[in-house]
Amino acid sequence: KAIAVKLGRKCTTVDFNALTLQWMTKLSRAQFASLKNFFLYGTTSNSTPLYVDQLLANLMTIVNQHQPKILAISVFSDDCRTATRLICQHMKDHMPDVKILIGGAGIAKGQKYGVSDAVSFGEKLKNQGLVDHYIIGDAEHSFQEFLQNNLTFPGINSDNWQLLTNN
């Protein structure tokens, strides 16, 4: 947010994780477990689609309140990938003019359940048309460059990025 504000951009941050957890705590223990297992392990029960639809509707209400031009999503870990994919698909279906940018540790190449990624999660979602851009690595410089439309900066839409130094 500080980078966007420094460049004179209007910016609002919303912690979807906290809001989702707050909403999920109102569910029964079984409903909570159903959603948790879906997002962490991909397992479903008969009621899981209903809860996922409710969650996406809640998130869309929040996004619609802000009418963003860009929706930047921080993907904290590999465990956030299912939710990120769903949110991005839902946004593309309902607000196709909003540009989606993802970044964070969860979009890099990784290994989950013994399976290594051939390409980064960010690249996969971009190739599938679910995101418009992704940032790999330290975003302190690349996010500023992104906002200035320098999309060739290392780490923007590329798995090659530059480590920040103290120089």
95-144 pLDDT tens trace: 999 999 999 888 887 655 455 667 888 999 999 999 999 998 778 888 99
Once rounded to an integer, what is the mean pLDDT over residues 72-79? Answer: 88
For residues 134 and 120, give the distance between their C-alpha atoms in angstroms, rounded to a whole number: 10
> pLDDT tens-digit profile of 40-65?
888 888 878 888 898 899 999 999 99
Cα dihedral 20, 11, 60, 157 sign:
negative
Given this model, what pLDDT does residue 163 score?
A: 66
102, 73 contact by CB (below 8 A): yes
Largest CA distance in the chain: 55
User: Which of the pair, 37 or 100, is modelled with greater confidence?
Assistant: 100
Identify the pLDDT of residue 167: 59
What is the average per-residue pLDDT within 72-92? 90
Q: Are 125 and 102 in contact (CB under 8 A)?
A: yes
Q: What is the mean pLDDT of the chain?
A: 87
- What global pTM score does this model have? 0.86
